[in-house]
Amino acid sequence: METLVIGALNEEINGLRAALENAESRKLGPFEVHCGKLGGKSLFLCRCGVGKTNAAAATSAVLTAFPSVKRVINTGVAGGIGGGIKRCDVALGIKTVHHDYDQTPDGYRKGQVDGFDSEFFDDDKKMLELMERALKNENIRYVKGVIASGDQFIASKETAKRINGEFGAIACDFESAPIAQVCALYKIPFLSMRAISDDGGDGAVTSFYEFLHSAAEKNARAIKAFMQM
């Protein structure tokens, strides 16, 4: 089964790129896709860039150019905002949501996108089970829950508390929900996993850059184990 792993930053996919066998690269407009083998299975890697528009555009480009892709993993780092999750844990998505999408004056729920019955996009249960096994095999602590996305770096405890209260989210990022939405449109199974680099509070920016590499390394280890299953 061919898998696409997509991350916003080079640091979030470099560990997997270095492990690719028989790697080749292909340009898709502004995006570059790296194709190869990992664990004897085909893997596609793409750096989408930060933000919801970049994430959606890159995901659509890859799924259109490579219709053989049958599942998508969004990897990267995120801020932890609830559910007992701590810095350097992994947030494993059961659902994603756009925390900044608001069409409530038109009768929708907060986060609900026109054309969808719920504000939440479900992560794939089979992929979730496999990734749980991979994380356990690698002795990486994780917490399952809702991952909330928006075009906003959360560096305020008040904002983090509000997002947690509205959606029950354990982590917030920029890209999970838009990638999940594109996968829903294409009917492709999706999973988000985010290593926690900060707590969404006042020191979030500094903490993010301090823990970026170690957090991304945890995800790379887990995905390598996942690909061998």
Q: Catalytic residue numbers?
A: 12, 198
Dihedral Cα 209, 210, 214, 220, nearest 10 deg: 0
Q: Which two tokens stand for residue 27?
A: 């340009």
* CA-based nearest residue to 146, from 180, 185, 172: 172
Q: Which two tokens stand for residue 6?
A: 């997509």
111 phi-psi bin (left φ>0, alpha ψ -120 to 50, beta other): left
In order, the DSSP letters of 94-112 are EEEEETT---GGGTPPTTP
Task: Please return the burial class of 194, using the count of CB atoms within 10 Å of its CB with bins 0-12, 13-18 and 19+.
Answer: buried
